[in-house]
Amino acid sequence: MEHSPAILHAKELLFLLGIILGSGMFTGFIARLLKVPDVVLFLLAGMLLGGAGLGVIDVKVDSTLNQLLLIFGSCYILFDGGASVRLSVLKNVWPTLLIIATVGVLISAFVTAYAAQYLLGLPFIFALLLGAVIASTDPATLVPIFKQVKIRAKVAQTVMSESAFNDAMGAILTFAVLGLAVSGSDFSVANSLFDLLKQSILGILGGAVLGYLAALFIAHEKYSFLAEYAPVVTIMSVAAAYLSIDNLHASGFMAVFVFGLMLGNKDIFGFKMEQHEEARLEDFILTTSLIMRIFIFVLLGSQVNFALLQQYFWPAFGVVLVFMFIGRPLVVFTCALPDRRAKWTLQELLFMCWARETGVIPGALAGMLVGLKVPHSDVIASVTFLAILITILLQATTTRWLAAKLDLLEN
């Protein structure tokens, strides 16, 4: 019995999970000492331990384990992003947030798509799929950075909130374009926008209902019979929100984000937890998000196809440069300038153009596409990895310097 295949496989799996978590803890500690985002070193650790390195981590991209970690991990991180958004901030800059997180994602995706079609020779629908995958920014990277670097509150809250919103929009756009790509249907702007709107509305409604119920059952004065199980409620509800809304052919990602938004702003609805229970729940969410971040980025790094990356390096590098220096600045200036109420200064807009790292959700989406064996998904994954590595290494590490140059550091 001791040597049965099931037990041996279980032991191998436990060893693998231990290696991933152990490498994540070690590299996270090094990242804190070096004052760089931990996801950079998680990626590098995955590259070192993966098949192209020491060969310790060998998780197939189409395996059940990999897809489970990618789907649930990205859902929980989106939930955490939603929970970190404060509605009190949105009332001052909501036009900018709304336009950047919707129209801005579309602009970034299309600019990247034209670059990818020209430089990589991809069919336009798959070039657009690439643009959709990497269009969103990364709250998992930005939130820790802004905790370390004290940026002017208006700018910091806008960038963090918008990154959480556009993650959900990026996921919706990715699967909308994927549906067109695999069905072979002709691309229609009107039909695609209608599908995006339908998926978003159903996701928002579903997430709002589940978020309100969760807040009711863990924080209501009379009905909080699940207060003791609040951490378990978050895990169960994130899975339920994603699966139930996804089964309705709507955006499960938008649902989990709105679920987090409702739970994170439960005090607006008159719900309040005991201080020690609130602190326990926040610690659990932060820890679980960290674990999910470790799994996603270490696995992503271990699955990098270096031969393909080397083959397409220069055209992929060109796509990333267009994405960083044309697409994203175009998004910020096009979407934020019309918002006269926010009174954005040139310094604030320039900073917002730069603080736009690519991270967890694009990495997870690229991994899902590879797992689904979507045509050209290996090229999409390689460009996504390069975008994550370059934006995080270049932009995240220069945030403090640029903020100081633009006089945006809080005194």
How far apart, in whole angstroms, are the C-alpha atoms of residue 11 and residue 261?
38
Sign of CA dihedral 222, 226, 229, 231: negative
- Residue 220's SS3 state is coil
| Residue 137 located in a structural domain | yes
273-324: pLDDT as tens digits: 777 778 888 888 888 888 988 988 888 788 877 887 788 889 999 999 999 9
| Residue 20 located in a structural domain | no
pLDDT: which is higher, 93 or 287: 287
Which residues does residue 151 pair with via DSSP β-bridges, in sequence order? 409
- Name which of 21, 27, 16, 25 is nearest 58 in CA terms: 16
With the CA atoms of 224, 226, 228 and 229 taken in that order, what torsion angle do they form, in degrees rounded to the nearest 10? -150
| Residue 45 located in a structural domain | no
Could you tell me the CATH number of the domain that includes residue 278?
Answer: 1.20.1530.20
Instruction: Provide the pLDDT for residue 117.
Output: 94
Only one residue has tokens 């036009």, namely: 95
How far apart, in whole angstroms, are the C-alpha atoms of residue 41 and residue 31?
7
Instruction: Provide the pLDDT for residue 318.
Output: 94
| Residue 320 located in a structural domain | yes
Instruction: Provide the pLDDT for residue 186.
Output: 60
Instruction: Provide the pLDDT for residue 134.
Output: 93
- Residue 151's SS3 state is strand
Number of structural domains found in the chain: 1
| Residue 30 located in a structural domain | no
| Residue 243 located in a structural domain | yes
From residue 325, alpha-carbon distances to 61, 82, 108, 170, 320 in Å are 31, 28, 11, 19, 8
Instruction: Kindly state the helix (H) or strand (E) to which residue 202 belongs, with its residue range.
Output: helix 189-219
* Mean pLDDT (the chain, rounded): 84
Q: Is the pLDDT of residue 330 over 90?
A: yes
Instruction: Provide the pLDDT for residue 349.
Output: 93
Domain extent, residue 86, equals 63-405
Specify whether the CB–CB gap between 356 and 392 falls below 8 A.
Answer: no
What's the mean pLDDT in 194-212? Answer: 83
| Residue 34 located in a structural domain | no
| Residue 101 located in a structural domain | yes
Specify whether the CB–CB gap between 114 and 373 falls below 8 A.
Answer: no
